[in-house]
């Protein structure tokens, strides 16, 4: 009935249009337009001024943008290595997170109603407590004089402390640890909605539990795996805090290079170009994530 009376007015002038329009406008101005501005600044050259980059149009109105910063990025082996290493580290950490998270999501989805709620809360609890403090907790544990080394030394397993901090190992542990809930929750959502009678039917027909899992449960949970993997992989690629606190001082990751270029070298134009290229690397995964989200929204 309401649809009829509102149908006469165009959508954007109706009450619904206003409700949609306000958040739309906000995100447009403060989320979408900023990318255009970053792209625009990446075409300028750095200069000592306020703001510290050359104008896009000269005093005579002529266009004077250049791909100077992009050439710099592609010519320098350091930056190439930074991008590749970011993708590699994020990919490995995502795989580790999936291997740890899948059994947990599976068990939670198959638990009774009460246990399920408690276990979900137990997964969420570390997520609610500070990200930074969880990284800090890992740092204390893995330090040369930390508890893990102290324990191993006193048990006589090792003679001298193992160096864990400032290695890639610490990086993988850090990302898997802090992003684990992001993997478990979408996986759980998919597994919880799964039609378990299919698995039972397979087992009744003589399929072994492992085979039933591989042939039925795993393929049906692929949307959850993709959503979880994207929620871990994309932010991990641009991660700044974890490589800075746990990784080696020369760990090459784009997030960290971007931060250093911006705050330490104060080259806003090169930092912008770093962000644009990183974004290009992530556009495909982000679109994949959105497609999975929409499909899940449509089926629910």
Q: Of the two residues 2 and 205, which places its CB atom closer to another protein in the complex?
A: 2
Handedness of CA 256, 261, 266, 269 (dihedral sign): negative
Contacts (Cβ under 8 Å, ≥6 apart) of 10 = 17
Q: How far is the CB of 256 from another protein (least distance, A)?
A: 8
Q: How far is the CB of 75 from another protein (least distance, A)?
A: 22
Q: How far is the CB of 168 from another protein (least distance, A)?
A: 18
* SS3 state at 63: strand
DSSP H/E element including 6 = helix 2-7
Q: How far is the CB of 284 from another protein (least distance, A)?
A: 12
The secondary structure of residue 212, as a DSSP letter, is H
The secondary structure of residue 165, as a DSSP letter, is T
Q: Of the two residues 22 and 47, which places its CB atom closer to another protein in the complex?
A: 22
In angstroms, the CA 239 to CA 184 distance is 20
Tokens 């191993």 sit on residue: 152
Residue 166 backbone zone (phi > 0: left; psi -120 to 50: alpha; other: beta): left
Q: How far is the CB of 227 from another protein (least distance, A)?
A: 10
C-beta neighbour count of 5 within 10 angstroms: 9
In angstroms, the CA 142 to CA 146 distance is 5
Q: How far is the CB of 186 from another protein (least distance, A)?
A: 11
Shortest CA distance to 177 belongs to which of 218, 140, 145, 152? 140
CA distances to 108, 110, 206 from 115, in Å? 8, 10, 30
Beta-sheet strands, E only, within 106-167: none
Q: How far is the CB of 102 from another protein (least distance, A)?
A: 9
Q: Of the two residues 73 and 138, which places its CB atom closer to another protein in the complex?
A: 138
Q: How far is the CB of 41 from another protein (least distance, A)?
A: 6
Q: Of the two residues 26 and 67, which places its CB atom closer to another protein in the complex?
A: 26
Shortest CA distance to 238 belongs to which of 175, 167, 173? 175
């Amino acid at each position: 009935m309401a649809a009829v009376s509102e149908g006469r007015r165009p959508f954007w002038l109706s009450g619904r249009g206003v409700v949609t329009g306000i958040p739309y406008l906000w995100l447009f101005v403060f989320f979408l337009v900023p990318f255009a501005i970053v792209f625009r600044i990446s075409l300028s050259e750095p200069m000592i001024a306020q703001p510290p980059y050359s104008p896009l149009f000269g005093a005579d109105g002529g266009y004077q943008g250049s791909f100077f910063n992009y050439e710099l990025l592609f010519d320098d082996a350091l930056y190439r290595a930074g991008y590749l290493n970011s993708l590699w580290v994020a990919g490995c950490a995502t795989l580790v997170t999936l291997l740890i998270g899948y059994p947990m999501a599976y068990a939670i989805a198959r638990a009774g109603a009460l246990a399920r709620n408690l276990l979900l809360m137990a997964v969420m609890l570390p997520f609610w407590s500070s990200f930074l403090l969880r990284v800090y907790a890992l740092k204390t544990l893995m330090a040369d004089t930390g508890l893990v080394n102290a324990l191993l030394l006193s048990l006589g397993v090792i003679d001298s402390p193992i160096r864990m901090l400032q290695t890639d190992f610490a990086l993988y542990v850090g990302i898997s640890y802090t992003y684990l809930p992001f993997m478990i929750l979408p996986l759980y959502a998919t597994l919880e909605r799964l039609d378990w009678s299919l698995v039972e039917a397979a087992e009744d027909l003589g399929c072994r539990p492992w085979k039933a899992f591989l042939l039925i449960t795993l393929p049906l949970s692929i949307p959850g795996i993709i959503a979880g993997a994207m929620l871990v992989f994309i932010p991990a690629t641009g991660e700044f805090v974890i490589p800075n606190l746990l990784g080696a001082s020369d760990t090459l990751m784009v997030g960290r290079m971007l931060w250093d270029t911006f705050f330490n070298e104060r080259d806003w134009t090169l930092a912008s170009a770093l962000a644009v290229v990183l974004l290009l690397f992530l556009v495909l995964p982000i679109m994949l994530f959105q497609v999975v989200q929409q499909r899940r929204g449509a089926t629910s």
